[in-house]
Amino acid sequence: MTARIIDGKALAQRVRARIADEVARLTAEHGVRPGLAAVLVGADPASQVYVGMKHRATEAAGMHSRQVELPAETSQADLEALIAELNADDAIDGILVQLPLPDHLDPRPVQELIDPAKDVDALNPYTAGRLAVGDPTFLSCTPYGVLELLADAGVDTVGADIVIVGRSNLVGRPLSNMLTLKGRDATVTLAHSRTRDLASVCRSADVVVAAVGRVGLVTADMVRPGAVVIDVGTNRTDDGKLVGDVDYDAVSQVAGAITPVPGGVGPMTVTMLLQNTLEAARARRGLPRR
């Protein structure tokens, strides 16, 4: 058996086209052009690539993009002052601070300063808390993308056994909360490095989500035949190749459906950032959200 490929790139193109149509309509009917500000501190090459991708995608959707680049030696006070400025800027509906920050900067107080109404990256504790109690505002972009991929692939999460390997605040924890919301109703196991007999835990799942950041962590013997495998990992090999957390060649011979790396979850992360920015623009002006 060869797994069906869940094509995140194709889905992202369709969703972005729909977002662009909605942005054009919002601008035409209400004079509103959603705005996203991305803050980059320092010159980390990977971060520069990610911010550039977000900038291009934002403009392609018809939104206003403000890209703020600060030197690596920027102080905590100056970064927090910038966040306050962006909070007060009515042309900006969404704010994200690209991580990681330089070592001398603490990301937590920066994230806490972002206006929850503009927290399109969903990292403010208020946003996370609303999700935890089942009343979310914005959904974290990468987990949001995973949900869209599952839905588009026809994977019914109601009553499904889903194992998430990885408990980060960016993916594992918010995704576990999203999957247990009313309407999705999955039974979720949040596994991690201290999980006993991880292979056995994964083999019990209808869906395995790998989100650890370790090359080849999920192997074929860890996947039940026919299960769905979502690979959130993005790792660079010594020769510069981008690979995930899943042993793709072997697992694709066992799984029923699988996301590739690249071309799976990655394109959906930026796409759902655009969706959150569009929803923020509507909500801030009292217009109905999707």
pTM to 2 decimal places: 0.95
pLDDT for 290: 62
Q: Where in the chain is the domain with CATH 3.40.50.10860?
A: 31-116
Mean pLDDT over the full length of the chain: 96
pLDDT for 284: 96
| CA distances, 55 to each of 36, 63, 90, 91, 113 (Å) | 9, 10, 19, 16, 22
Residues 252-289 have pLDDT tens digits of: 999 999 999 999 999 999 999 999 999 999 999 999 87
pLDDT for 237: 86
pLDDT for 193: 86
Query: What mean pLDDT is predicted for residues 45-58?
Result: 92
> For residue 83, is pLDDT > 70?
yes
**Measured distance CA(101)–CA(110) in Å, rounded:** 10
User: Can 54 be counted among the known catalytic residues?
Assistant: yes
Please check whether residue 48 is in contact with residue 69, taking contact to mean a CB–CB distance below 8 angstroms: no
Residues 135-146 have pLDDT tens digits of: 999 999 999 999
**From 93, 115, 121, 206, the catalytic residue:** 121
Q: What residues have CB less than 8 Å from 167, skipping those under 6 apart?
A: 173, 190, 191, 192
User: Can 275 be counted among the known catalytic residues?
Assistant: no
pLDDT for 113: 98
- The topology (CATH level 3) of 31-116 is Rossmann fold (3.40.50)
Residues 233-247 have pLDDT tens digits of: 999 888 888 999 999
* Look-up of token digits 């919002």: 26
Residues facing residue 95 across a β-bridge: 37
Please check whether residue 259 is in contact with residue 8, taking contact to mean a CB–CB distance below 8 angstroms: yes
User: Can 121 be counted among the known catalytic residues?
Assistant: yes
Q: Where in the chain is the domain with CATH 3.40.50.720?
A: 141-266
How many percent of the chain have pLDDT more than 70? 99
**From 98, 111, 118, 119, the catalytic residue:** 98
> For residue 202, is pLDDT > 70?
yes
Query: What mean pLDDT is predicted for residues 176-188?
Result: 97
Query: What mean pLDDT is predicted for residues 157-175?
Result: 97
**From 54, 115, 231, 247, the catalytic residue:** 54
How many percent of the chain have pLDDT more than 90? 93
> For residue 1, is pLDDT > 70?
no
| CA distances, 107 to each of 42, 45, 130 (Å) | 14, 19, 20
pLDDT for 116: 98
**Measured distance CA(276)–CA(138) in Å, rounded:** 6
- The topology (CATH level 3) of 141-266 is Rossmann fold (3.40.50)
E strand map for the chain: 4-5, 35-41, 64-70, 94-97, 161-165, 187-191, 207-210, 228-231, 235-236, 242-243, 257-258
